[in-house]
Structure 1
């Protein structure tokens, strides 16, 4: 019998084990091919307006997805080889050398991978139409996506398959050549020993994890982050990773050890399910740590891309509130701009003029404008009545009431808008040779003109606008303060006006210092970018869930197989099936719940403190985050229920 015949016989004899590995490979190929098919679909590429950014994002997302698939398949192959070590030991005992074993494994994985490549490619191609339509819906485009199997996607998937097969072959070589023959026979018989626990290490792990979470929950305005941001970041990383590891390695075992000394420990079936856990803690520490940290990262990923996508539509409008706005320098330019808009097919729905005074800041701009490096040099002064008229025209509830020297700054982009304490803060400006001091009574997160923009570079600088009373504005105007006029247009279908904006930008910015802002310059870039990020994040979450499910599945399959002898003894002692199921449920509940709690708590604190608190103007986001956490909890609960049934069936198998 040659190696090929032996490989085929092995597949027939252990079809279930090969199926597990094959499904793992198939899922990885299917997900990658569906993603690649969407990215290379001609209908989608024709609809995109920023193809260069799309290509760059696609390459990055593809690299991350391939990395996840690689880890996913390598974990499955590790389990596959471990389950066959006794069989491989028999082959070596009968005279086969390592080269023969590796050749046999190479043929087997090559055949399984080839089948997975064909089936996964077909399923991925079918799914790509659904995913493509979803991507177009996220981008708010009406493009119809046809079913397609792009040649570039097929080539990319074949390359990924080759990379996976080479990595699997190298892993198989390392697993087979680094063990002795006796180890191959005893691989499935080696029993874990209960770990020695230390109260000091248990408390240290609890302290590290608790203090890191407390530091995160304290917020970025706390002294730790404002004064020692680098050290705080390192401590939080060490605290979460190291604390989680010690939490499972020492604290869980120590907790069970303390529990075993209580009076009620011997009552019911507590001894049965806790003793199994004590023996498994040593081998499960890395798995439990991985599940906890993985849960944190997965929830953070999904929440971040969902929040980013949700705020983009409104955020672009807040950053660039005017469809077209520019500083008017001559009547000829104004006429040319109007003519270009009328000829473009974008109807003019409204046009306005806004007169603002120009000044220079004497006081440090940081007093009035958060992150002043993002604002253009100089200050633009608007009268309260003109400002209120624009606010009313937009339908926003942002009006002001000012008298005397009171002033309000439009510090667009603040994390939290704040009224100024007391009667106001002095803010001095200079107009010509004179100086004027205003009382800054509020810093408002609002834009009158918004960011200046560029068709290529998108957003450049924000206009620094100070709202002053009508009397103060009239007085400064009468004194000869320099004034600029800004023309503002509302146009139809402003989000699809990239070509028009490029033309207008060329007309207006012949003087490069001229202010120009267009909603279209940012809208398509932001929406396409956030849609691609959400789409790629969804794929990463999908493959991550499969990876998590595989870790849990393989772990329970191995532990249940090793526990069959113990459960056989329990059956002989008269323990019923219902009691065994109860023991399994309690045992797995402890294993499942323990990593979930710190994982979800860490992710919620990070999201709440560093994302939600920065976008307080979007109250619906909190409900969305809780919905994502609840969905993950339900999926995780599903893993638990499936695992209990799987564990019970395997552990109680009599043959």
Structure 2
């Protein structure tokens, strides 16, 4: 044979089966494009040079690995549709005299052609769109960038190597299937459907129980730490339950529909229900995959969009004032020392030099500790925290003792407390006891749980909930534990003075004030002798303007990653939908042909098709919506750990994401249903 025979035969096979190969090649190109864009952005010199760019690139580095693994799994999965459809053709070639070695050469050339088109087209699209992606990330970081198109050789090499390996593994898998099949099996493989399975009520019931348990976990967990831990357990349970319900449960439902004669013995229902039962095992698995992908997209987009939109709120939660100073001391008397007043004077002086005044001043003392609370008692030595048990971690709190006078001054209140009484304020979780005791000390009665307090930003950095205890006698309450050490020998209590203020100047002015204040504090620390510096008096200074880039880098990176992974998962869901419709269309073509011969009209066929598609096609979307609704409380608690507490924003974003996705889903439904109808109705121009 001429050497050009195999390439021509391979190209003819691809061209004649363009209905199958075109979406597959486009998907391969899309995967190549996405992977290159992610790789390009993680090594972009422009992003590296921007404030917050390194944080964003770190986020995208995770996305590169996720897309790489997903591309391997998903392209294997979609290639199985192509292989199933082409086996009849390969069986015919085999009978006509082509050996398996010859078929292997055809398959090798097909793989080379597909790989060349996919890699070439994907890289060209990736290089073009990578600049748009880079400019999009620059915009997220609120910076400026050039419009010069650049190439990243390292990203190109990574993309070529990864997808060369993927296409090679797919080729080996296809050759394995051809090698293990005989010509007769290949010739009749397309007609080898699954036997009508029996309704497995046990698996359907197991799926319902597992799903119910996962839903119960999602709605019953109150502690954000528990929510973070159990979230992944709940995800696995939902995935298992979804597959069981779509495979076993859907068969059971079809059996029930067949028993309902008034429904089943109708033209549009009879054909569709009997067809679904015939291949429900594979059909159910495909629908479950679509449902899980839809749920992943909805959860990921809702969370990341909400985080990005709420970035400014999260930033101000972490840094409650434009400039925030944290003075750390080792003894209670140091909180009243002269350097504290010098810090106030220095901040006011530097602000005046820049034409600014200190507004909305935050000024209070606090004693902080991490404690395990059990039965209304705080474990002072902290030994219970290190038991490595989930129950211990869910009862760990960040505890702040604050003088009552500071609370009244900051909040404009006039609360009074008797000895042995306290006020309480908690975040992220609720405290149900009516008293609180410090170690073995006498319980202090919780007179009132106050609704709010001027946060210091420390709570925003912690995954654990915080408890603010406002006491009438600050020194007397803390004196018994000021010299107590934990099991590692470190002091259990940390003494701080928080001082913060707002400025009405621009970000540039605020950064200048912060830097000058930091330098002045450093000089005082060097020249001030024992009153400054050392371990007994240290000062840290942070500012919103200077930290804003880092926040937008982190949340913007998550947002951008959510968009790209969302697009990839949507590609996957659409392709599964399309191949599900096309493969089933070819299988149903002969059955509908027989129906037409015995009197079934085109109108009846279309009505039957609509009945079948509507019965199962929207089930994944509706189930994904239910999954999202039950996952909402869990998502809300996890986002609290990222300092996002705006519940109304999360509800709005989640509803909008679902509606937009549902619109897109309906659009895909119309496209794929037309393809199915064109095949089963015997439209001209279909490949043999």
Q: TM-score band, normalised by the shorter chain?
A: 0.7 to 0.9
CA spacing shift, 1:348–1:376, aligned 2, 3 Å: farther
Alignment of 1:351-500 (within 5 A): 356=364, 375=398, 379=402, 382-388=405-411, 400-405=413-418, 407-411=422-426, 414-415=427-428, 425=435, 439-444=446-451, 446-451=453-458, 466-467=469-470, 486-491=498-503, 492-493=505-506, 497=511, 500=515
Using the alignment, how far apart are the partners of 1:33 and 1:643 within structure 2?
29
Match of 1:249 in 2: 247
Matched, 1:518 2:542: yes
Match of 2:291 in 1: 292
Q: Give the CA deviation at 1:292.
A: 2.2
Q: Give the CA deviation at 1:465.
A: 5.4
Deviations 1:249-286 (A, max 9, x none): 33222222222222413245221221111112022132
Aligned length in residues: 622
Match of 2:358 in 1: 350
Mapped contact 1:505–1:516 kept (Cα < 8 A): no
Q: Give the CA deviation at 1:212.
A: 3.3
CA spacing shift, 1:461–1:206, aligned 2, 3 Å: closer
Using the alignment, how far apart are the partners of 1:220 and 1:559 within structure 2?
45
Matched, 1:25 2:28: yes
Question: Does the residue aligned with 2:193 lie in a helix, a strand or coil?
Answer: coil
Q: Give the CA deviation at 1:532.
A: 0.7
Match of 1:43 in 2: 46
Q: Give the CA deviation at 1:215.
A: 4.1
Matched, 1:653 2:682: yes
Mapped contact 2:294–2:621 kept (Cα < 8 A): yes
Matched, 1:572 2:584: no
Mapped contact 1:383–1:468 kept (Cα < 8 A): no
- Match for residue 259 of structure 2 among 261, 265, 269: 261
Using the alignment, how far apart are the partners of 1:408 and 1:284 within structure 2?
59
CA spacing shift, 1:125–1:594, aligned 2, 3 Å: same
Mapped contact 1:201–1:246 kept (Cα < 8 A): yes
Mapped contact 2:269–2:612 kept (Cα < 8 A): no
Using the alignment, how far apart are the partners of 1:58 and 1:304 within structure 2?
16
Q: Give the CA deviation at 1:149.
A: 2.7
Mapped contact 1:248–1:289 kept (Cα < 8 A): yes
Match of 2:578 in 1: 553
Question: Does the residue aligned with 2:191 lie in a helix, a strand or coil?
Answer: coil
Match of 1:325 in 2: 325
Mapped contact 1:325–1:488 kept (Cα < 8 A): yes
Higher relative contact order (CA 8 A, sep 6+): 2
CA spacing shift, 1:234–1:22, aligned 2, 3 Å: closer
Q: Give the CA deviation at 1:531.
A: 0.9
- Match for residue 240 of structure 1 among 230, 233, 238: 238
TM-score, L = length of structure 1: 0.81
Q: Give the CA deviation at 1:89.
A: 2.5
Match of 1:590 in 2: 615
Match of 1:393 in 2: none
Matched, 1:59 2:61: yes
What stretches of structure 1 of length at least 5 have no aligned partner? 389-398
Match of 2:669 in 1: 640
Match of 2:558 in 1: 533
Deviations 1:53-95 (A, max 9, x none): 4443232210101222223322332222222212322343455
Moved more, 400-409 or 160-169: 400-409
Deviations 1:512-556 (A, max 9, x none): 563535144754333211111111121111011111111111111
Q: Give the CA deviation at 1:19.
A: 2.8
Question: Does the residue aligned with 2:289 lie in a helix, a strand or coil?
Answer: helix
Using the alignment, how far apart are the partners of 1:532 and 1:581 within structure 2?
46
Question: Does the residue aligned with 1:255 lie in a helix, a strand or coil?
Answer: helix
CA spacing shift, 1:165–1:238, aligned 2, 3 Å: closer
Mapped contact 2:399–2:468 kept (Cα < 8 A): no
Q: Give the CA deviation at 1:364.
A: 7.8
CA spacing shift, 1:133–1:329, aligned 2, 3 Å: farther
TM-score, L = length of structure 2: 0.77
Moved more, 170-179 or 528-537: 170-179
Using the alignment, how far apart are the partners of 1:236 and 1:428 within structure 2?
36
Mapped contact 1:356–1:381 kept (Cα < 8 A): no
Moved more, 562-571 or 98-107: 98-107
Using the alignment, how far apart are the partners of 2:465 and 2:258 within structure 1?
65
Q: Give the CA deviation at 1:381.
A: 5.3
Question: Does the residue aligned with 1:140 lie in a helix, a strand or coil?
Answer: coil
What stretches of structure 2 of length at least 5 have no aligned partner? 328-336, 379-392, 483-493, 526-531
Deviations 1:436-476 (A, max 9, x none): 957441155544433299xxxx889999755467xx78999
Using the alignment, how far apart are the partners of 2:234 and 2:26 within structure 1?
38
Question: Does the residue aligned with 1:516 lie in a helix, a strand or coil?
Answer: strand
CA spacing shift, 1:135–1:446, aligned 2, 3 Å: farther
Using the alignment, how far apart are the partners of 1:591 and 1:57 within structure 2?
37
Question: Does the residue aligned with 1:565 lie in a helix, a strand or coil?
Answer: helix
Moved more, 488-497 or 34-43: 488-497
Moved more, 551-560 or 165-174: 165-174
Moved more, 154-163 or 530-539: 154-163
Using the alignment, how far apart are the partners of 1:168 and 1:537 within structure 2?
28
Mapped contact 2:37–2:129 kept (Cα < 8 A): yes
Using the alignment, how far apart are the partners of 2:36 and 2:658 within structure 1?
29
Deviations 1:150-182 (A, max 9, x none): 333322322233232222223223332232332
CA spacing shift, 1:100–1:578, aligned 2, 3 Å: same
Q: Give the CA deviation at 1:487.
A: 4.1
Aligned-CA RMSD value: 4.4
- Match for residue 630 of structure 2 among 597, 605, 609: 605
Using the alignment, how far apart are the partners of 1:41 and 1:556 within structure 2?
41
Using the alignment, how far apart are the partners of 2:250 and 2:265 within structure 1?
19
CA spacing shift, 1:195–1:266, aligned 2, 3 Å: same
Moved more, 154-163 or 611-620: 611-620
CA spacing shift, 1:191–1:115, aligned 2, 3 Å: closer
Match of 2:271 in 1: 272
Q: Give the CA deviation at 1:638.
A: 1.9
- Match for residue 139 of structure 2 among 113, 129, 137: 137
Alignment of 1:101-116 (within 5 A): 101-116=103-118
CA spacing shift, 1:310–1:517, aligned 2, 3 Å: farther
Question: Does the residue aligned with 2:142 lie in a helix, a strand or coil?
Answer: coil
Moved more, 595-604 or 549-558: 595-604
Using the alignment, how far apart are the partners of 1:38 and 1:363 within structure 2?
42
CA spacing shift, 1:341–1:319, aligned 2, 3 Å: same
Using the alignment, how far apart are the partners of 1:571 and 1:251 within structure 2?
32
Using the alignment, how far apart are the partners of 1:452 and 1:269 within structure 2?
60
Mapped contact 1:352–1:487 kept (Cα < 8 A): no
